[in-house]
Every structure is written in C-alpha cells, then in structure tokens.
Amino acid sequence: MALMSACLMTLVPVSTAVAGGFEMEPANNDISNQASLQRGAKYYMNYCLGCHSLEHVRYQRLSDDLGIPEDQFLEMLAFTGDDLGDMVKIGMPADQAEDWFGGVAPPDLTLVARSRGTDWIYNFLRSFYVDGETLTGTNNKVLENTAMPHVLWSLQGLQKATYEEDADGNEVFAGFETVREGRLSPREYDRVARDITNFLDYVGEPIRFERQRMGVWVLAFIGVFIFFAWLLKREYWRDIK
Ligand code: HEC
C-alpha cells in the first residue's frame, strides 16, 4: 500500500508539470469561410508582407480565389508598387534582412501552415510577451527567443508571462497578464490571429480550396442526376404497373 501511494506521489507532479506549462489552443480556422480569408489577406498585406514573401502565389490568384475585387486589391498593394500578375514577394533583399534580424532572415510563409500546422501559427501569433532580455523587447512562448518582433502589438497590446511554482519547486508558466491594452479586445484579437492563420492555411494549399469548390459542383451534379434517374424510373414503372 505504502509502495503504491509512493508510486502515485511520483506520478502526480509529472502531470501537473505538463498542465502548468504552455498549452496550445486549437486554431479552429475554416478555409471555406471567405470573409475570414479576405480579412486574413488584408492583415497579411498590412502587417506581414513587409518581411515575409509568399513566393509561389500570384496576387491575381488571391484576388480570384478570395473574391477580392481587383481594384480593391491594387489599392492594398499600392505601397509595394506590385502588379496583379506578380508573385507575392518582399522588397528587402534576403541578406540585408538577415542582418537586421540578428542572422535569421524572415522565412517565406507559403508552406508554413503545412510545416508547422495551423494551431502552431495561431498560438505563435497570440503568445508574444514582454522580455527585456531580447533584441526585440518581446519573446514568444511557442518559438522561444524568436527573432520576429511582435508586429501586431498595437492590436493585441502587450502582455507579460507569469510563473508559479509547482509541487517540486520548479517554475512553470501560469498564464499571461496584460500590461498594456491594445486596440482590440482579446476576443477580437483572437479572431485576427485566426483569420491570418486561415489565410496561411489556404495559401499553403490553394488546390484544396479548388477541390472544395469543385466538390460542391460534383455534389450538385450528382443531385441533379439522381433526380432525373428517379423521374425516369417512375416513368418506366408507370408502364409496368
Ligand atoms: C519585421 C519583420 C517581420 C514581420 C513584419 C513579420 N515577421 Fe514573422 N518572422 C520574422 C523573422 C525574422 C522570423 C524568424 C524568426 C525566428 O526563426 O526566430 C519570423 C518567423 C515567423 C514565423 C515562423 C516561421 C517558422 O516556421 O519558423 C511565422 C509563422 C511568422 N513569422 C508569421 C508572421 C506573420 C503572420 C506576420 C504578420 C502578422 C509576420 N510574421 C510579420 C520577421 C517578421
């Protein structure tokens, strides 16, 4: 009995240590939500494109797929001087960018949703926190010591990480605490993070988007076909009876 409770005692701290650490929340994004994709594209152009290209995507494609009128799109792009036929690339040369960010060039994000996963991106965008020891003044719970600055801070505000001691006396992450309010409420900011994640999910596999749209037509076709087949069957059976 004593042995059994000793075993349990050693198990308990392990589980609290896991529960006390940073936990990801599901992104719950939906690439069939066009309004969300449109917002995500807009945020991306405004807040991310300065550093991150989408090398395999053309603006024209985004405009067509996301249903953003061309003139609106050109307005969004006015400051980059790009044309709709261009690939989504950034203005700064990669080697210079590398110098600016302490040896880490901002990567192309075309495939990041596939390599990291959508939950990762969503939580990455939500978990920047103030840290005086980094170059950028912020750190990140998902990508520790990231070279990326918290570019959305004016929307989210600034938060600090709080810690507590677990049963073993180890410091574990306990949660975030707002130190400066942003323009958006936490819920609104989560939606921004979800919209951007959604946009990157779509960008990683635009073909899936097409498949989904094709799927609707295929189903509609099958529906119509079944209807006519049923009419035909009814016709035949009338003669037989
Ligand atoms: C000022 C430049 C800059 C801007 C603007 C910027 N980033 Fe970054 N980003 C970086 C750098 C530098 C890295 C590399 C970080 C590292 O590896 O530590 C990075 C890394 C990332 C990564 C991780 C990639 C990976 O797989 O390691 C994601 C995702 C990302 N950024 C998303 C975004 C999004 C979304 C936005 C817009 C809301 C954005 N970034 C705006 C500089 C920037």
The alpha carbon of 67 and the centre of ligand 1 are apart by a number of angstroms equal to 26
Atom of ligand 1 nearest to the CA of 97: 12
Alpha-carbon distance of 36 to 25, in angstroms, equals: 19
pLDDT(6) > 60: no
Contact 100, 73 (CB under 8 A): no
Alpha-carbon distance of 186 to 195, in angstroms, equals: 14
pLDDT of 55: 87
The alpha carbon of 152 and the centre of ligand 1 are apart by a number of angstroms equal to 11
Atom of ligand 1 nearest to the CA of 120: 29
Q: What is the mean pLDDT of residues 19-33?
A: 85
pLDDT of 2: 53
Atom of ligand 1 nearest to the CA of 146: 18
Q: What is the mean pLDDT of residues 63-83?
A: 82
Q: What is the mean pLDDT of residues 110-125?
A: 96
- For ligand 1, atom 37, name the residue with the nearest CA: 48
Mean pLDDT, the chain, whole residue set: 85
The alpha carbon of 194 and the centre of ligand 1 are apart by a number of angstroms equal to 16
Atom of ligand 1 nearest to the CA of 100: 12
pLDDT of 163: 93
> Which residue out of 52, 54, 110, 134 has the highest number of ligand 1 atoms within 8 Å of its CB and is therefore the one to mutate?
52
- For ligand 1, atom 3, name the residue with the nearest CA: 51
Percent of the chain with pLDDT over 70: 88
pLDDT tens-digit profile of 33-57?
999 999 999 999 999 998 999 988 8
Least confident of 71-75, 120-124, 154-158, 161-165: 71-75
Bigger pLDDT: 9 vs 26: 26
Atom of ligand 1 nearest to the CA of 200: 35
pLDDT tens-digit profile of 188-232?
999 999 999 999 999 998 767 777 777 788 888 888 989 989 998
Q: Give the end-to-end CA distance of the chain in Å, rounded to a whole number.
A: 80
Q: How confident is the model at residue 3 (pLDDT cuts 50, 70, 90)?
A: low
Residue 152 neighbours by CB distance under 10 Å: 21
Residues with CB under 6 A from ligand 1: 47-48, 50-52, 101, 104, 106-107, 109, 112, 115-116, 121, 124-125, 143, 146-149, 151-152, 196
The alpha carbon of 52 and the centre of ligand 1 are apart by a number of angstroms equal to 7
Alpha-carbon distance of 127 to 146, in angstroms, equals: 11
> 100 vs 4, 95, 142, CA distance in Å?
57, 9, 22
pLDDT of 220: 87
Q: What is the mean pLDDT of residues 21-28?
A: 91
- For ligand 1, atom 1, name the residue with the nearest CA: 51
pLDDT of 4: 54
Q: How confident is the model at residue 138 (pLDDT cuts 50, 70, 90)?
A: very high
The alpha carbon of 111 and the centre of ligand 1 are apart by a number of angstroms equal to 13
pLDDT tens-digit profile of 77-87?
766 778 888 88
Q: How confident is the model at residue 18 (pLDDT cuts 50, 70, 90)?
A: very low
pLDDT of 15: 34
Q: What is the mean pLDDT of residues 156-168?
A: 94
